[in-house]
Structure 1
Amino acid sequence: MTIDAVITWVDGADPAHRKKLDAWLAQSGNKRPASADRTRFNDAGEIDWCIRSILRFAPWFRKIHVVVDGQVPAILDRLRDSQFGERFNVVDHREIFAGFEQHLPTFNSRSIITMLWRIQGLAENFVYFNDDMFLLRAVNPEDFFREGKVVQRGLWRMQSGKTWSSRLLNALKRLRGSRSQKVGNLDSQQLSARIAGFEDRYYRLYHNPYPMRRSTLQAFFAAHPDLLESNCSHRLRSNEQFKTEAVATHLEFLHDNAIVDNSLHVVQLKPSEQLPARVKRKITKADSDSSAAFVCVQSLELAPEAVQREIIEWLDRRIG
């Protein structure tokens, strides 16, 4: 089986990227929302661990496609003349947004993920990585695709409004006039399930690498070009958007092409929000847990310096 890896990456500290974002905000007349906060685009070198972990723990990937906006990660320059150089493919947003250039530049990962299946030469089976997702141990192709089906990690949940507790919560929000601008992950996963035909429940995906099939998305968007257009058109993250990886997951379940296997799990680190002691406990536990195969480190650059150093030393030790 031929399987590719796809990584999305941006260096938000690049003056050219900041200028592009500021110019679009000024042109559109929008104030800077939370989804355009500069910390959302910061780069703390995460892609180095992402790429190194793939090369070390999943050398069976055929190609590693890195999706960028006119930038190239420094690690690819270092690897260009190495034995790994030919395995990388740098993909610019202009390639996957061909025919939809009116929606560029985009600063929205959901819009970008919507278009990943349009990468030229992409394998039928591919695994999508955020650049803050890393492998912690050796994994096999069968951990993502098995018996002609896609391996899914998560659990089934009821859609909001289908339980008494969620109805009560929604009623309280209405009474309080809640107008939260937060773009919710679970809300978008539930929307994705409904789009795929699941009205009462949804499969809540864990935040680890996502296996997908190109033909599934190609067929879906061929049948629903309006959804492709609308979802890729948002320059910043929006509550109106679905998550393409979640739509793909539910489509595979719909056609009996999914296998649930939670034997491997992800270590979720949010060092800017979690207490240092909790981060340390998670790291220590991961070292002794052979089923801890993935780690996601969110907003590393916002953590206290001592916590940053501890995580960096741990990642260097685990990944190399």
Structure 2
Amino acid sequence: MEESKEIVIDAIITWVDGNDPVHKAKMSNYLSDKSTGSNTSFRTLFDQVNEIEFCVKSILKYAKFVRNIFIVTDNQTPGFLKDKEKAKENFPNVFIIDHKTIFKGNEQYLPTFNSLSIETLLFKVPDLAEHFIYFNDDFFLINETTPNDFFINGLPVLRGKWMPHNKNIVKNRIFSNKKEKYTVLYRKAKDTSSKILGFDKSFNIHHSPHPIRKSTLVDFFKKNEAILLQNIKFKFRHEDQYILQSLANHIELKNNTCIQEKKLAIVYMKSYTFFKTFKKFTRAKYNKNYLFMCLQNLDQCDAKKLVFIKKWLHKKYN
């Protein structure tokens, strides 16, 4: 098998600027309930505060072994890459990939506003390496990493633990508020990913970078095209969907072609009280055992704390 130090590794980031008026207008055309577009729990799936720039810079700083960084988006360009001359000089290995490229042959499902649908086709990014790491735009590397943190002897390192399937999915769906329902749907999608492979429990994925082998997906979908098409047809998140990175993990687990790692090595933030913010950013600054950070729902952080967080990120990555 390949040694990790010899393999080529790329990174993929999915990104959308939900504040873009063109994107908002496009999405509004497909919303049956127009009020949904202003719902906070719905908006946070699309709104951003330029985290993508720090995500990219964190990879460049702490994962120098990464060959190319592909940003997959819908006819949009992050602000820090809009000056093409400067971008070519400062970010020569960062490339924008449009949805039309990965949906080639499946254009009938565009436009899509569904990260689960988009993720399903990431393996179709042109010239993508066999080994790649998938990032959301709110994932950051915070300490030096090596290929072995993601792949050992060519096999993906899966961070997490096994969990039973959620037996209360119907009750959760009925009695949860709107914000909780998105969490319930996400949990169900994780369970669905494992059930496709015949598991009666799920290997729980976390909000950290996901190492994936392209051939794992190519081989699986070659034999199971209907499973691919079923997932990409939804323009918005749907309870019948699975999560691509979780599906990839369970394929590897079933084939015994992965390395399981219990240490998550992540600083995760979803709420931004003063105490939590100070505590977790101190941990991120001084504890070298943490490799990853996720700042989820940063668009909902209040202005003062957001200024502090962005100053911290700017200082760390510039």
TM over 0.5: same fold?
yes
Matched, 1:62 2:67: yes
Structure 2 residue runs of 5 or longer lacking an equivalent are 1-6
Match of 1:48 in 2: 53
Hey, what's the Cα distance between the residues in 1 that align with 2:295 and 2:267? 8
Is 1:130 the counterpart of 2:139? The answer is: no
> Residue in 2 aligned with 1:293?
291
User: 1:2-36, CA deviations, whole angstroms, 9 ceiling, x for partnerless residues?
Assistant: 111001111111111011011222xxx34544598
Say if 1:188 and 1:170 are closer, same or farther in 2 by CA, change over 3 A. Answer: closer
Which one of 20, 39, 42 corresponds to residue 44 of structure 2?
Answer: 39
Compute the displacement of 1:117 (Å): 0.5
Give the deviation of 1:106 after TM superposition.
Answer: 0.5
Contact 1:148–1:257, Cα closer than 8 Å, also in 2: no
Residues 166-212 of structure 1 deviation map (CA, whole Å, 9 limit, x = unaligned): xxx569x39x964866233222111101112212x210011100010
C-alpha spacing 1:35/1:218, structure 2 compared with 1 (3 Å): farther
User: What residue in structure 1 maps to residue 189 of structure 2?
Assistant: 188
> 1:202 aligns to what?
202
Give 2:300's aligned residue.
Answer: 302
- In the alignment, what sits opposite 2:89? 82
Corresponding residue of 2:313: 315
Task: Give 1:254 deviation, angstroms.
Answer: 0.7
Kindly report which structure 2 residues correspond to 1:1-320, keeping only aligned pairs within 5 A, or say none: 1-25=7-31, 29-33=32-36, 37-78=42-83, 79-82=86-89, 84-85=91-92, 87-161=93-167, 169=168, 173=171, 178=175, 182-183=181-182, 184-199=185-200, 201-263=201-263, 265-270=265-270, 273-320=271-318
Q: Which moved more, 1:237-246 or 1:310-319?
A: 310-319
Question: What is the RMSD computed on CA atoms of the aligned residues?
Answer: 2.1
The answer on whether the counterparts of 1:63 and 1:88 sit within 8 Å (CA) in structure 2 is: yes
The runs of 5 or more residues in structure 1 that have no matched partner are: 162-168
Contact 1:154 1:204 in 2 (8 A): yes
1:103/1:234 contact within 8 Å kept = yes
TM-score (norm 1): 0.89
SS at match of 1:122: coil
**Structure-2 residue corresponding to 1:166:** none
Structure 2: how far apart are the matches of 1:260 and 1:286?
A: 24
- Say whether the 8 Å CA contact 2:189–2:243 is kept in structure 1: yes
- How many residue pairs are counted as aligned between the two chains? 304
Alpha carbons of structure 1 residues 32 and 120: separation in structure 2 relative to 1, 3 Å:
farther
Separation of aligned partners in 1, 2:41 and 2:278: 30
**In the TM superposition, what is the alpha-carbon distance from 1:299 to its structure 2 partner?**
2.0
**Deviation at residue 298 of structure 1 after TM alignment:** 1.5
Write the deviation string for residues 246-289 of structure 1: whole angstroms up to 9, x where unpaired.
0000100111111012445111112xx34221121111122221
Task: Report the alpha carbon displacement of residue 58 of structure 1 after superposing the two structures with TM.
Answer: 0.9
Q: Using the alignment, how far apart are the partners of 1:282 and 1:204 within structure 2?
A: 22
d(CA) in 1 for partners of 2:229 and 2:169? 30
Aligned residues of 2:58 and 2:142 also touching (Cα < 8 A): yes
Distance apart, 1:141 and its partner CA: 0.9
CA distance in 2, matches of 1:92, 1:197: 34
Conserved 8 A contact 2:160-2:264: no
The residue matched to 1:292 in structure 2 has which SS?
coil
- The alpha-carbon deviation at position 63 of structure 1 amounts to 0.9
SS at match of 1:120: coil
CA separation in 2, counterparts of 1:36 and 1:315? 25
Q: Percent identity?
A: 35
Q: Distance in 2 between matches of 1:81 and 1:118?
A: 24
Query: Aligned pair in 2 of structure 1 residues 233, 75: CA closer, same or farther (>3 Å)?
Result: same
Secondary structure of the corresponding residue to residue 139 of structure 1: coil
